[in-house]
Structures are given as C-alpha cells and as structure tokens.
Amino acid sequence: MVRYANCAKMLDLDNYFKILEQTCLKRGMYFQKVDSRKTSQICPNCQTETDKKKLLERIHVCLNYSYTTDRDVAGAQIVFLRGLAATVKMLGVSISEAYLGLSIGSPKT
Ligand SMILES: [Zn+2]
C-alpha cells in the first residue's frame, strides 16, 4: 500500500497546489487549502466521527440521523465544510454571508 506522502511525492501535489494557488490569485479567485485527514470518518450531517472504513466500503452510513450517502460525496462535503469554516474565520463573517460570498470574484451584472 502506498502512503499519501509517497503519492504526494510521486504526483508532486505540493507543486500542484502552489500552481493552483497562484492561478487563483492571478484570476482573482479565493484559494483555501483544508485539512484532508479523516474526511471519510466524519459525518457531514452531524460531525460525529464514525469508524474508520476500509477502502472497499463505499457508502457512508451514520446511525445518528440515518444519514447515508456515497463515501466520496461525504468526504467532499467535509472538505466543503472545512473550507467554509476557514473562510468564515478568515473573513469574520457569518456562515450565511460566507455562502453568499461563494460568488465573490464572479463578474457583477
Ligand atoms: Zn451523522
């Protein structure tokens, strides 16, 4: 099994993120890197940490509120929530303002 650090070296993810950040800056877009750890172990619906899943387990199931979704969708939702939280903290705005701010950088009509 190849560990993430080894994959990152092979794919040069550090360089990829630097280029992505520079591209966002150049185009006036916001860039936020978030912690990618445990994205498949935390429920996006209630933030409860679930058991560690094997790679073959493709469905996220949380018994707290009967929330079930694809594992990758749940992971993406956690990444989104972390990015939103970081944005709220950085800008000092409310979550609803941050949601509205997702359109920041888009041309005004
Ligand atoms: Zn849950």
45 and 16 assigned to the same domain: no
State the total domains in the chain.
Answer: 2
pLDDT top residue among 93 and 103: 93
Supply the mean pLDDT for the chain: 83
**Is the Cβ–Cβ distance between 44 and 22 less than 8 Å?**
no
Q: What DSSP element (H or E) covers 84?
A: helix 71-91
Task: Tell me, in angstroms, the distance from the centre of ligand 1 to residue 38's CA.
Answer: 14
In the predicted structure, residue 71 carries a pLDDT above the cut 70: yes
| Domain carrying residue 109 | 32-109
Burial (CB count <10 Å: 0-12, 13-18, 19+), residue 84: middle
Q: Span 81-98, mean pLDDT? A: 82
13 and 1 assigned to the same domain: yes
51 and 24 assigned to the same domain: no
What proportion of the chain, given as a percentage, has pLDDT over 70? 81
Token pair 């993810």 in the structure block, residue: 13
Task: Tell me, in angstroms, the distance from the centre of ligand 1 to residue 35's CA.
Answer: 20
Task: Tell me, in angstroms, the distance from the centre of ligand 1 to residue 107's CA.
Answer: 37
Amino acid at 91: L
64 and 85 assigned to the same domain: yes
Q: How would residue 73 be classed by pLDDT, with cut points 50, 70 and 90?
A: very high
Judged by average pLDDT, the poorest of 38-47, 51-60, 70-79, 92-101 is 92-101
87 and 103 assigned to the same domain: yes
In the predicted structure, residue 103 carries a pLDDT above the cut 60: no
* Lookup: tokens for 69: 């979704």
Task: Tell me, in angstroms, the distance from the centre of ligand 1 to residue 52's CA.
Answer: 14
**Is the Cβ–Cβ distance between 62 and 51 less than 8 Å?**
no
Q: Span 14-18, mean pLDDT? A: 88
Task: Tell me, in angstroms, the distance from the centre of ligand 1 to residue 55's CA.
Answer: 20
In the predicted structure, residue 93 carries a pLDDT above the cut 70: yes
